[in-house]
Chain A
Amino acid sequence: MTLRRKWEEKFFHVMSGIITLAIVFVLVHLIWSIVAKGASLLSWNIITQPPKGTFYFGGEGGGFLNAIAGSFYLAIGATVLAFVVSLPVALFLNIYLIKYQRLLIGIRFFLDVLWGIPSIVYGAFGFLILMYLGYRNSLGAGIVTVAALISPIMIRAMDEVLKTIPIGLQEAAYAIGSTKTETAFKVFFRQALPGLATAILLAFGRGIGDAASVLFTAGYTDNVPTKLSDPAATLPLTIFYQLQSPSEDMQNLAYTAAIILTFIVLCTSITARLLYRKK
């Protein structure tokens, strides 16, 4: 082995290792720098009280319960709605269409493409529908838009799980006289349950963190929404607006809100991962 070849090998081995470490470092640095900046303001009041004072210049205490509650309402509503349409699609693909492999490939291809559409386009489209129907920005409109955004992710994640169920199980269910629906909901659904839970959590995490789609559709308010037609504040938008505020107190609040959002999302993705590993 010539010296040059040996050094090239060494160089790229070390170099690629360093880069991989750097990626881990970025994750740690991201979380650390936000926590370092916002942790001092973290208190019980901030998560249990709606804001007092005006929108841009807070500084009179109060927290962002409006955004936390709004985000949860929105993400949970959207996840439930997405689930109601996603599970049937995923089951349909793996039970009814299992014999039509070409069609199946086509639909999966299509869903992957759908996944690539940016959330701002969903937001703009949702807003357009709202204008057309003559409704105002509201929690309900936000839920529908976010549901449309996270459904392709949910379907594909569920599909990946259902795909692994052996066809023999399906045949066995038919052999004892089950209808397709019974096979789908009693056999497949139960068999894939942990994986499906992971899919739901993934979609939830994506939904609660997305801002561009709710920017147009959910609106913003200082109050906790009480019905679907109320506007709803969300954590990502709160962070965004607070950071743009000229007042430094308000900007500092944005870091605290960012800690809370990151914490929620981290819990979701770690739980999703643990569930899947158990299976």
Chain B
Amino acid sequence: MTKRKLIDNISSKWMVASLSFFLLMPLAIAFGLIVKSSGLLENHSIGNLITSSEWSPMDGEFGFLPFIVSSLWVTITAILISMPLCLLSAIYLSQFAPKWMLRFMHPVIDILAGIPSVVYGVWAVLVIVPLVRDDIAPFFHADSVGYCILSGAIVLAVMSIPYILNLLLEVFRHIPVELGEASLSLGATKWETIKKVFVRKGGTGILSAFGLGFSKALGETLAVMMVVGNVVQLPHSVFDAGYPLPALVANNYGEMMSIPTYDSALMFGSLLLFVIILLINIFFRYIIYKSEAL
């Protein structure tokens, strides 16, 4: 009996310890990154760091604006591309399509979601870059080498489709069928019902799905970095090269130890990314939680 009690005791403690570890992890990450970036913050104000576009680590100039702007360009373009695609596809699968189609699509979505970032990157280098260079850019009378914001945005859009689509299907599944039936019985067409009842009823859920997709895309590193060009500049169109924040951190860690406060600057970059993504996540998860609780 005592042995069983002892085991019970030990295992309970281990469970609590594991849980506490995960509860403390984001705090530890935030703390570590803040401590490490304090070397940079001593000499530069945060306001100055995120509004200056002067980037020359050798001279101690760290303006994060080009990276922040590039990140926003890539991510917003990506979400604008994937938004209508995901919404229409989710509508088709949940409203129009036969049941077997949904059963077929679930594994397809899972597989797409499971493909590693770097494989998407390879595909983008093989397919998207030539497409942008030879077809899309000339169509808009622009000149582009293909390694640009648009290529990054397209691959990000493709990568975020399974993630957003899954969330959207969940949203549509939660809407009561009776609502649709009431609308249909009043003589509305299927599409009118979807437009005026389902999309409106699921509005907050749909918005949250896009919000979470946005934060996912914002933190995506490798696939984007492989096709976005990585030039430090303020991009003026989607055909310009950009340099998003995650790419900055990933590209430069090798040399960051050799230049003073460079490591601080890169950790500050990670901190920015971490805080922004955490806030977006908390906000939209909270909205989802609230709308499910109602």
Q: Which residues of A contact B (CB under 8 A)?
A: 1, 5-6, 8-9, 12-13, 15-17, 19-20, 22-24, 26-27, 29-30, 33-34, 37, 85-86, 88-89, 91-93, 96, 105, 107, 109-114, 116-125, 127-129, 148, 151-152, 155, 179-182, 184-185, 202, 205-206, 208-212, 215-216, 236-237, 239-240, 243, 254-255, 258, 261-262, 265-266, 268-270, 273
What's the minimum C-beta distance from B246 to chain A, rounded to whole angstroms?
Answer: 5
Measured between alpha carbons, how far is A268 from B266 in the docked complex, in Å? 34
Chain A residues with Cβ under 8 A from B19's Cβ? 88-89, 92-93, 107
B47: interface (CB < 8 Å)? no
With contact pairs A255-B122, A261-B119 given, residues A128 and B33 touching in the complex (Cβ less than 8 Å) = yes
- Nearest first, the 10 A-B pairs at minimum CB distance are A118-B219, A209-B116, A16-B92, A92-B15, A124-B270, A116-B281, A179-B8, A212-B221, A16-B88, A88-B15
Q: How many A-B residue pairs have CB under 8 A?
A: 251
Measured between alpha carbons, how far is A72 from B108 in the docked complex, in Å? 25
Interface contact A121-B29, CB-CB below 8 Å: yes
For chain B, residues 145 to 165, give those with C-beta under 8 angstroms from any C-beta of chain A.
Answer: 158, 161, 165
Measured between alpha carbons, how far is A37 from B130 in the docked complex, in Å? 15
Chain A residue at minimum C-beta to C-beta distance from B36: A128
Interface contact A125-B33, CB-CB below 8 Å: yes
Chain B residues with Cβ under 8 A from A37's Cβ? 126
For chain B, residues 244 to 294, give those with C-beta under 8 angstroms from any C-beta of chain A.
Answer: 246, 249-250, 253, 266-267, 270, 273-274, 277-278, 280-282, 285-286, 289
> Which residue among A33, A114, A255, A270 has the maximum number of chain B CB atoms within 10 Å of its CB?
A114
Measured between alpha carbons, how far is A209 from B126 in the docked complex, in Å? 19
Chain B residues with Cβ under 8 A from A270's Cβ? 107, 111
Q: Which residues of B contact A (CB under 8 A)?
A: 4-5, 7-8, 11-12, 14-16, 18-19, 21-23, 25-26, 28-29, 32-33, 36, 85, 88-89, 91-93, 96-97, 101, 105, 107-108, 110-112, 114-123, 125-127, 158, 161, 165, 189-192, 194, 212, 215-216, 218-222, 226, 246, 249-250, 253, 266-267, 270, 273-274, 277-278, 280-282, 285-286, 289
Interface contact A206-B114, CB-CB below 8 Å: yes
Interface contact B119-A258, CB-CB below 8 Å: yes
Interface contact B226-A105, CB-CB below 8 Å: no
